[in-house]
Amino acid sequence: MKDLFSIDLKQYQIVDWGYTDSTEPKTYNYYQAWITSGYQGSLNYLADERGEKRASLTQFWPSSQSALVFLFDYAKQKFAIENFIKNHPDWNQKKIAGYVFANDGYDYHYLLSEYLNEIGSNIVKTLKTNIPDLEYKLAIDVHPVLDRDLAFRSGLGWFGKNSMHISRHHGSFHLIGSLIFNHKLKLDNSSLETDHCGQCTRCIDACPTLAISDQRTIMANRCISTFTIESFKESDPPAGYDQSSPWIFGCDICQDVCPWNKRIFKKVLPNHLQIAEQSKSLINEFLLIPLADVFKRLSLESNGSYKKKYAKTSFERLGKKGMLKNIQFMLKKMAS
């Protein structure tokens, strides 16, 4: 991996980085058409004024002139945990999206922000002599920035047919985090990556709810991840979910079948990675006991207790009610 101002990026699980001084996304018109078609579904935060801000980095921060974009890997954690669960005699045959276990089981929003601030502060300090007024703002997926487009124009990968950002060297099991600067840096703009999906349609064919169109478009209301992560109260699941693999939180189907991720899996040694205590706790509580027992435990738990127990994990935002909704649906499916 390339060095950046003598910062050891591996300590942050960064597997690649790129640079661009292009402040306008190349796919904003496509994004607007997606919104106009209503494909964002219930994800209203993508269509309000925050959608308009995504038209340019300067809409997010008027001083924007360039950006460093980083890929934070979680493929190794995902594959190690997946291998552990599948070989465990008590596995209840349920699944949780791999990103939940990124950053040792803690919500990546907290840690990515911490990492980016450390890197940004280091860069500002290093370049202070040459650029005394250098400032930065960080951007992750909660900010009104088209982060996958930013990674694309930073030369880090391309848009897969499932709309995920895919790296030729690292697949798609990574998170994107960026530092936006008020100056152009003395770095070369990265060339755009070629689309390497070719004629492959495995992600489209594998999606049980038909959420992926042949136009590299996700219809959010058909997506299992939308139903299991973004729907906080009882609602109808997307058609086809009852015939799908039993995902109780998130979904990795379209990424699991991707040849670029299968190549990554062959390179890692999942058995050799230590599983963090927080990840073990989540695994034990949701995947290594009967689902009916999980439902009973959560039902008896107060909302306050749930929030405290799962604070700073990916389960915190969904809340007790949302998690019970997911599990109850799965139990009904199993009983039918």
Do the domain assignments include residue 228? yes
Same domain, 177 and 206: no
Domain end residue (candidates: 181, 213, 233): 181
| pLDDT averaged over every residue in the chain | 92
Q: Alpha-carbon torsion 86, 90, 93, 98, what sign? A: negative
Same domain, 320 and 227: yes
Contact 314, 228 (CB under 8 A): no
What is the pairing mode between strands 136-139 and 158-159? unpaired
- Higher pLDDT: 154 or 48? It is 154
Do the domain assignments include residue 92? no
Query: Residue 290 is part of which domain span?
Result: 202-335
**d(C-alpha 204, C-alpha 38), whole Å:** 20
Same domain, 222 and 167: no
Same domain, 164 and 243: no
* Predicted local distance difference test score (pLDDT) of residue 193: 96
Same domain, 163 and 218: no
Do the domain assignments include residue 89? no
* Predicted local distance difference test score (pLDDT) of residue 335: 65
Same domain, 175 and 269: no
Same domain, 19 and 136: yes
**d(C-alpha 277, C-alpha 275), whole Å:** 7
With H, G, I as helix, E, B as strand and everything else as coil, classify residue 188: coil
* Predicted local distance difference test score (pLDDT) of residue 266: 76
Average pLDDT of span 140-159 = 97
Greatest CA separation found in the chain?
Answer: 69
Q: Alpha-carbon torsion 262, 266, 267, 273, what sign? A: positive
Do the domain assignments include residue 272? yes
**d(C-alpha 73, C-alpha 95), whole Å:** 20
**Strand (E) or helix (H) holding 323:** helix 315-335
Do the domain assignments include residue 84? no
Do the domain assignments include residue 271? yes
Count how many domains the chain has: 2
Looking from the CA of 263 toward its CB, the CA atoms found within 13 Å total 10
* Predicted local distance difference test score (pLDDT) of residue 1: 43
Same domain, 140 and 50: yes
Same domain, 164 and 40: yes
Residue type, position 46, single letter: L
Do the domain assignments include residue 197? no
Cα–Cα distance list, 167 to 150, 151, 180, 218 (Å):
13, 10, 21, 19
- pLDDT digit string (tens) for 83-126? 899 999 999 999 999 999 988 999 999 999 999 999 999 999 99
Contact 75, 268 (CB under 8 A): yes
Which of 141, 149, 236, 256 is catalytic? The answer is 141
pTM assigned to the model = 0.95
Same domain, 173 and 208: no
Same domain, 35 and 146: yes
**d(C-alpha 118, C-alpha 265), whole Å:** 30
* Predicted local distance difference test score (pLDDT) of residue 48: 86
Q: 67 Cβ partners below 8 Å, 6+ apart?
A: 19, 20, 21, 23, 57, 139, 150, 154, 178, 179, 180, 181
**d(C-alpha 283, C-alpha 289), whole Å:** 9
Residue 107 annotated among the catalytic residues of the structure: no
Model confidence at 269, in pLDDT bands (50, 70, 90)? Answer: low
Same domain, 161 and 208: no
